[in-house]
Amino acid sequence: MVALLWLIPALPLVGFLGLILAGSRLPRQAAACVGVGSVGASALVAVLVALRFISAPPPGHAYAQTLWQWMAVGSFTPRIGFYLDALSLVMLLVVTVVGFLIHLYAAEFMFEEEGYSRFFAYMNLFVASMLLLVLADNLLLLYVGWEGVGLCSYLLIGFWYHDPANGRAARKAFIITRIGDTALAIGLLLLFTHLGTFDIQALMPLASQTWPVGSALAVAAAALLLGGALGKSAQLPLQTWLPDAMAGPTPVSALIHAATMVTAGVYLIARLHGLFALAPQVLSAVAVIGALTLLLAGCSALTQRDIKRVLAYSTMSQIGFMFLALGVGAWPAAIFHFMTHAFFKALLFLAAGVVILSLQDEHDIFRMGGLRRQLPLAFWTFLIGAASLAGLPLVTAGFFSKEWLLEQTWAGAEGGRWLWAAGVVGALLTSVYIFRVVFRVFFGPATTPARRRAGLPMRLALLVLAVLAVGGGYLEIPRTLGGLTLFSDFMRTALPAEHIPYADVRTELVLQICVTAVSLLGIALAYLLFLRRPGLVAALTGTAVGAAVYRWWSAGWGFDRLYDRFAVEPFVWLAQINRDDLLDVIASGPTRLGRLAYGLLSQTQSGKVRWYAASLVFGSIVFIAVAVFL
């Protein structure tokens, strides 16, 4: 069964090819069957492969599959090959299962939209590219998948291209992530130049044998790879593309945030953990960047009016939690939070999509209200997702993953009190901003009546994700609550055994109480400020300082303006003053010569038949003379 591994990325790719070749000639129902069915079949094969892999692990708890040799240039012979271990298996299941549920939801959500087949073609290619990325056994093939998800993000964010704003958002995402991708490409070339291979499993031990810990080359390579991860995962300072990416359809937002794209950076760091372990300075930077991002994004989420932009900043913040865990060496905890985050974030986006669709494309949470009775399914599923995101204790997946992550941050040698405090403050902000949305959208007076209800495909996707958002956390239970370690035991076969010492039971209990108290305090603050006494917020933002801070946070801390001022505007200015340089003159030379020839030849078109006849006779005489005498 494990030998069918190649089918998992191949099925969505075949779906893409079928949809793109058939185009608009394919009926909508057939396009949905191909688009949803191909990813569903991929998910089914992934589950069967996972069951076989877990029940009868291959030697070394890893399976390698080589399909064919890609190219041969001297000793450079990369291959098309896949590598399956515990890390790639978890990623595989999340991408296919969550991706299938999002596709199922999109079959109904997008049914009335123009370009239905094209939409599913792009979505299938998106999933296929992400699967290629996580299964690749070498960095060159990984980079192909990496660029594939970047291309698909551009196509899907700008799917409604008739609106120029959507095109700008797509270009912004493409250009900003290209900065990180350039750094990643340079890092890969540096690794190949000094280690002579792109093979991931050969490269890690070779790096340890060649470079000592703290080596300048190891630090440089890890820093360049980190640059790529920052771009794809929307972390400081390359985070500004993600909020604007909400221009795409809601299923696209769910796929980008939950199962693809933004998690690619987390996977890259975890997969190349051996290299990052040789660069402790870079690992510390990963933790600090994650802590700063989760705080800044949490503050910005507090001030957004668009329901999808709140969730976008939330994703940025939660990826920051994962970077924090990676930076302190809590590898399994980071991947566990990735998994639970995929469940509740996909649920939140899809439930928000039901609200948006029922209110005729309304996104402003201040034009919503009282929807818990009109849209009960959307309310309960969004509430479950919000509770899991906030880490509501004992009953949600988010509590178990966030508690484990913060405990490891406290205990780790690379962690410490300040990073732990940043995580706790971030957890408080998370509870406040997500329940701000809950109370504002589903409680209070009704403002806009709901005109549409979700059908069976959308309901089914929401219900399955709701179950996962609650039950997914029970794979790793702390000692104080029973001590179940299924996830960490499984991940130890692919990631380093945790070098972070567990805190004693008393300290662990205190840390859990802190996380629980912060979660409940945030919910209480959101209830007080946004439902019980909303005048307090108005009074606070009505002051000069409060209004300035509100605008600053709402604008994403001014990063867009900063980049426009110091990067975009100077570049445009240089392009304008350099528009007629020597290269432009050389390049435009053939064009000018062609225009001159056109002007001269056009003079021969006088409309006088005698001149035309004389020209034909003269030309014939010249042609005969050349043929005879030469």
Percentage of the residues of the chain whose pLDDT score is greater than 70: 98
**Spatial distance between the Cα atoms of 341 and 346, rounded to a whole number of angstroms:** 8
Helices (H) and strands (E) in the chain, counts: 29, 2
465-496 pLDDT tens trace:
999 999 999 999 988 888 889 999 999 999 98
Using the 8-state DSSP alphabet, how is residue 123 labeled?
H
- Residues 616, 483 within the same domain: no
**Spatial distance between the Cα atoms of 457 and 464, rounded to a whole number of angstroms:** 11
Q: Confirm if 371 and 378 have CB atoms less than 8 A apart.
A: yes
- Residues 28, 83 within the same domain: yes
**Spatial distance between the Cα atoms of 607 and 12, rounded to a whole number of angstroms:** 61
- Residues 280, 329 within the same domain: yes
| Predicted local distance difference test score (pLDDT) of residue 23 | 80
63-119 pLDDT tens trace:
999 999 888 887 788 889 999 999 999 999 999 999 999 999 999 999 988 899 999
- Residues 284, 136 within the same domain: yes
**Spatial distance between the Cα atoms of 57 and 136, rounded to a whole number of angstroms:** 20
Domain membership flag for residue 120: yes
Domain membership flag for residue 257: yes
- Residues 594, 542 within the same domain: no
Q: What is the mean pLDDT of residues 566-587?
A: 79
pLDDT of 605 > 80? The answer is no
- Of 256-270, 353-367, 431-445, 565-579, the poorest mean pLDDT is in 565-579
Q: What is the DSSP string of 513-544?
A: HHHHHHHHHHHHHHHIIIII-THHHHHHHHSH
Domain membership flag for residue 618: yes
pTM of this prediction? 0.91
Residue 67: domain span? 2-558
- Residues 469, 613 within the same domain: no
- At 582, the pLDDT band (50, 70, 90 cuts) reads low
Q: What is the mean pLDDT of residues 510-537?
A: 92
**Spatial distance between the Cα atoms of 88 and 134, rounded to a whole number of angstroms:** 6
Question: CA angle 8-10-16, nearest 5°?
Answer: 120
| Predicted local distance difference test score (pLDDT) of residue 344 | 96
**Spatial distance between the Cα atoms of 298 and 553, rounded to a whole number of angstroms:** 9
Structural domains of the chain, count: 2
- Residues 553, 584 within the same domain: no
- Residues 253, 348 within the same domain: yes
- Residues 271, 233 within the same domain: yes
Give me 286's structure tokens. 């990963």
Domain membership flag for residue 15: yes
Give me 339's structure tokens. 């998994």
Domain membership flag for residue 111: yes
Q: Which of 308, 257, 252, 259 is nearest to 122 (CA)?
A: 252
**Spatial distance between the Cα atoms of 487 and 471, rounded to a whole number of angstroms:** 13
pLDDT of 628 > 80? The answer is no
Burial class (CB in 10 A: 0-12, 13-18, 19+), 44: middle
Question: CA angle 392-393-394, nearest 5°?
Answer: 125
Q: Confirm if 333 and 275 have CB atoms less than 8 A apart.
A: no
- Residues 471, 588 within the same domain: no
pLDDT of 621 > 90? The answer is no
**Spatial distance between the Cα atoms of 117 and 125, rounded to a whole number of angstroms:** 12
Domain membership flag for residue 574: no
For 325, phi then psi, to 5°, come to -65, -45
Residue 498 corresponds to which amino acid? E
Domain membership flag for residue 564: no
> For residue 608, what are the contacts with CB-CB under 8 A and spacing of at least 6?
none
177-188 pLDDT tens trace:
999 999 999 999
**Spatial distance between the Cα atoms of 548 and 609, rounded to a whole number of angstroms:** 78
- Between the two ends of the chain, the Cα-to-Cα distance in Å is 76
Q: What is the DSSP string of 604-622?
A: T----HHHHHHHHHHHHHH
Q: Confirm if 123 and 103 have CB atoms less than 8 A apart.
A: yes
Q: Confirm if 495 and 368 have CB atoms less than 8 A apart.
A: no
11-41 pLDDT tens trace:
999 999 999 998 888 899 999 999 999 999 9
Domain membership flag for residue 625: yes
- Residues 65, 213 within the same domain: yes
41: Cα within 13 Å, side-chain hemisphere:
17
Q: Confirm if 332 and 488 have CB atoms less than 8 A apart.
A: yes
- Asked which of 525, 558, 591 is the last residue of a domain, the reply is 558
Q: Confirm if 394 and 512 have CB atoms less than 8 A apart.
A: no
- Residues 519, 595 within the same domain: no
Q: What is the DSSP string of 169-192?
A: HHHHHHHHHHHHHHHHHHHHHHHH
Give me 588's structure tokens. 């435009």
For 605, phi then psi, to 5°, come to -90, 75
Q: Which of 404, 423, 177 is nearest to 290 (CA)?
A: 423
- At 297, the pLDDT band (50, 70, 90 cuts) reads very high
| Predicted local distance difference test score (pLDDT) of residue 417 | 85
Q: Confirm if 210 and 195 have CB atoms less than 8 A apart.
A: yes
131-162 pLDDT tens trace:
999 999 999 999 999 999 999 999 999 999 98
